[in-house]
Amino acid sequence: MDLPVPSALCGSRAAAATVNWPSSAGISKLTWSNADVHGDWKATTYTLIASLVLGSKLLRRGQSRGPARSVKAAGCGRSGTRREHIFLDVVAAAVAAGPSAAAAKGGNPFLLVQDGEEAFRKNRVEESIDLFDSAAESGYPKARLWQRGLSLYYAKDFTAGSQQFRKDVEMNPNDTEESIWAFLCDAQMVGFDEARKQILKVGVGPRPVMRTAMALFRGDDDTKYLAALEDLSAGSGSDVFYSCLYLGLYYEAKGDVENARRYLLKATSCRYGKGSTDYMADLARVHVARRGWGEVEF
C-alpha cells in the first residue's frame, strides 16, 4: 500500500492523497485532490488517511495476543492477508460513518483502540470499554474488537462479552481463543457443563498450546489434555505462559479458585509473563489484581 502522507497532517494544507489498495481489494487506487478536501470531506479525508497510517502501526505490532497473532496480521491464507482485510473493513466503516461520527467520539478509531488497550493494561477496565465503544462508533469494525470482549469479561458483563467473541468468530472462524473466551463468559452465566454444550466450533489453530487448550475446553478428554497442558507448563517460552493462563481460566470456569489462583500466579511470574509485551501477559496481571491474588504494579 503506497500512502504518501499529506503535509496537512503535520499542520499545513494537503495537495493530494493517493492510496494504492492491496490486490485482494479489487481496487487499484483511490485519490483525493484539493477539490475534495473541503468541509466535511476534508475531515473525512484526513481521518481516513490518519486511520491508515496509525492502523498500519497498530496492525504491524499485531494487536498481539501472542506469537501467532502477529503472524496472522502479517498475512497468511488463501483469501488475502488478515491485515488487508482489517484495513478494508476499517476504511469502509470509516467512510460509511462519515466525519461527524469520528469527530463526535474524539477522532481516529485506531487511536481510540490504542487508548483502550493502554487503559486495560493499567487495569482501568471500565474506561477501556468506553474507549473501545467509541472506536466502534468512530468506524472501527466492532466485530474485530476482541479486546473489548476481554474487558467485558473483567467488568462481569458476560452477556455482552459472549456476544463480542461470537461476532469475532464469525469474522475469523479459526481463532481458538475467541471460542474459549466465549465459553468462559457463558460458563459464568449458565455453568461449566452447559457452556460446553454450546462452545463455538472453530478451525485448527496454528499453535500447539492453543490446540491443546481448545481440546480441553471442548471436553475431548479432560484427563489427557490437562496432563498435556501441565507438560507444556514445564517447558519454555510462551508455551509456559499460555498453558498456565488457560489452565487457570479452566479452573476458574469450574469454580476451583485455588487451582485458578495457582496457575494465574505462575503465568504472571514466568519469564514470558513478566517480560513480554503480549497483551495477554497484561491480561494475566489484570486478572490477578482483580481477584485480589497478589500485588501487581501497573
Residue 233 exposure: Cα atoms within 13 Å on the Cβ side = 21
Bridge partners, 18 (sequence order): 31
- pLDDT tens, position by position, 27-65: 344 433 333 333 444 444 445 555 555 555 455 444 446
Nearest to 57 by CA among 108, 125, 132: 108
> Which sign, positive or negative, has the C-alpha torsion 205, 210, 212, 215?
negative
Is pTM, for the whole model, over 0.75?
Answer: no
Lowest model confidence (mean pLDDT) among 30-39, 41-50, 95-104, 263-272: 30-39
* Higher per-residue pLDDT: 268 or 5: 268
49 Cβ contact partners less than 8 Å away, ≥ 6 residues apart: 3, 5, 6, 9, 17, 19
> Higher confidence at residue 298 or residue 225?
225
| Dist CA 121 CA 137 (whole Å) | 22
What is the C-alpha to C-alpha distance for residues 84 and 63, in angstroms, rounded to an integer?
14
What percentage of the chain reaches a pLDDT higher than 90? Answer: 61
User: Which tops the pLDDT comparison, 82 or 124?
Assistant: 124
> Does the CA dihedral 172-174-177-183 come out positive or negative?
positive
> What is the model's pLDDT at position 98?
52
pLDDT tens, residue by residue, 214-262: 999 999 999 999 999 999 999 999 999 999 999 999 999 999 999 999 9
Q: At residue 280, does pLDDT exceed 80? A: yes
